[in-house]
Amino acid sequence: KKGGLPVLALVGYTNAGKSTLLNCLTKAGILAENILFATLDPTTRRVKLPGYKTHPEVLLTDTVGFIQKLPTQLVAAFRATLEEVREADVLVHVLDVSNPTWKKQEVSVTKVLEDIGAGDKPIVRVFNKLDLLDEEDAEMLKYEAVCSDDYSVGISSFTGAGLS
């Protein structure tokens, strides 16, 4: 906790929409591009969560996008952002469900989280980019999120759908 506020770290595969989600929630205006490692340094913003009375405000940190088989040298280079992940109270795992390999990407990110000692953190799974799916697939993923045993939600960080 920083300043008494819970810290949530946005984690996920590169180009999953972490920066877009941070911008959507905070109007931060940070770079959100479809390029490898658009985010190199962690960015943290204070966010008021809609509908929450207990902790209406949190600190939300955008982190570097993960890739499959992250080379050891890159792990060292991204130490600052990985440290933010380790120190967070909750991880928000943003998944680009429009990517046909999103389930493999989820496994890759989970492995990196375990490797850096953050595998035991509470995780909220965010099925992002529902706006890029056909309506039936989007509805199925929203249903899966609602019915899952973990904390999952279906959204579009680009349009803001599912965030209110």
70 pLDDT above the threshold of 70: no
pLDDT band at 38 (very low <50, low <70, confident <90, very high): very low
109 pLDDT above the threshold of 80: yes
Contacts for 119 with CB less than 8 Å, ≥ 6 apart? 110, 113
Angle at 126 between CA 44 and CA 101, to 5 degrees: 115
Give the pLDDT of residue 72. 66
153 pLDDT above the threshold of 70: yes
User: Average pLDDT over the chain, rounded to whole?
Assistant: 83
11 pLDDT above the threshold of 70: yes
Give the pLDDT of residue 54. 65
pLDDT band at 28 (very low <50, low <70, confident <90, very high): low
Cβ count near 74 (within 10 Å): 15
